[in-house]
Amino acid sequence: MAHYSIWVLEYAAVEKFPFSVMMYGPQHQGTRKLPYAYALLKGGGETILIDTGYDHVAYGKQLANAYGVSNYHGPRAVLAECGVKPEDVTSVFITHAHFDHMGAMHLFPNAKFYVQKSELDKWVWALTLGPEYRFLVGGGDPADIVRAVEAAKEGRMICIDGDQENVLPGIDVHLAADTHTYGSMYVTVRNDGASGEDRWIFAGDLIYTYDNLTGLDPTAPQIVPIGLAVGSQHNLIFSGAEMLKSVGGEVRRVIPVHEDRLRTTFPSRLTDRGLQVVEIALAKGEKSCVA
């Protein structure tokens, strides 16, 4: 029986996102929908998020007008689909410091935040470089570092240095250094509480789509990195391999939150607001949110 109930909750989307950014190489294969989403876990008295999403107030209009991000809804509306309020969230794992993953820390006033130390260290360093280095800070928001200070002052910012097991019961974190970002982190949920088979990995942006783990030719599978990294493609490929090995090669267990096909891989429901709720696992006694 699962220890945690797990959902992936869409909160906005880019309807037509170039596939060549999701996967390095296919420059002429058009666009796909790119959902913006975070994962919600409930179990053992904990309400956990993997990533926070972003706050529309700060730059939502800019994103909508200039970059085609549509249908944004804040965490109060999104989490309500699973009967959760932002104040209920006890812990948040931040996979990396991009705006759409770390940009709403202030909306979860009671949560502790777990992030890789090297991610914050190197973002701080990169954000102080001159404008000619702005490629290195694309998607990073100085205000998020200020929020991290505020959380640290309240004792709610926990910097993790590398891999760590059982950060919370059955939840391990792993550093994927110099990949998509400087200190990207992926999260393993051992949902049978042991080292057993019911294992899910939340990949952050180490992969955008299952295709990153399989390639596009089913007769010759390969790992193909995403199309954007400040680290190396080499490191992205090997972190992909590591995640895949950890789940015994079962691709669907490595969850890319930006993958639109999650809704057809797992039970799902489209909400009245036009957002997908994807149900990965249900703990004992938990009611389905997609039935």
Partner 1 sequence: MGVYSCVAVTEQSVLRYADAARPAQQLISQTLTQLSGYALFLLTSRRQAALAEGALVGARQAVTQAGEAVRALQAPEPAAHHYHHMRGAADMLLEACVAATACRGAQDRSDKRFDTLTRALRATSDHLRATARLLPGFELVDFGQACCAVHAPRLPGQGL
Q: Return residues touching partner 1 (CB under 8 A).
A: 14, 16-18, 21, 34, 36, 58-59, 62-63, 65-69, 98-100, 117, 120-121, 124-125, 127-131, 134-135, 137-143, 145-146, 148-150, 152-155, 157, 159, 180, 205, 226, 228, 258
CB 207 within 8 A of CB 95: no
Shortest separation between residue 245's beta carbon and partner 1, angstroms: 25
In angstroms, the CA 220 to CA 275 distance is: 34
In angstroms, the CA 251 to CA 218 distance is: 13
Whose Cβ is closer to partner 1: residue 176's or residue 290's? Answer: 176
Shortest separation between residue 223's beta carbon and partner 1, angstroms: 18
Tokens 């053992």 -> residue = 44
Whose Cβ is closer to partner 1: residue 99's or residue 108's? Answer: 99
Whose Cβ is closer to partner 1: residue 84's or residue 137's? Answer: 137
Q: Tokens at residue 283, please?
A: 């703990």
CB 21 within 8 A of CB 228: yes
Shortest separation between residue 78's beta carbon and partner 1, angstroms: 17
Q: Tokens at residue 58, please?
A: 């700060």
Task: Give 234's contacts (C-beta < 8 A, 6+ positions apart).
Answer: none
Shortest separation between residue 244's beta carbon and partner 1, angstroms: 21
Whose Cβ is closer to partner 1: residue 97's or residue 278's? Answer: 97
Strand segments, DSSP code E, in 135-235 are 157-160, 164-168, 171-177, 183-190, 199-202
Shortest separation between residue 173's beta carbon and partner 1, angstroms: 16
Helix (H) and strand (E) counts in the chain: 9, 14
Shortest separation between residue 164's beta carbon and partner 1, angstroms: 15
Whose Cβ is closer to partner 1: residue 61's or residue 234's? Answer: 61
CB 92 within 8 A of CB 111: yes
Whose Cβ is closer to partner 1: residue 102's or residue 281's? Answer: 102
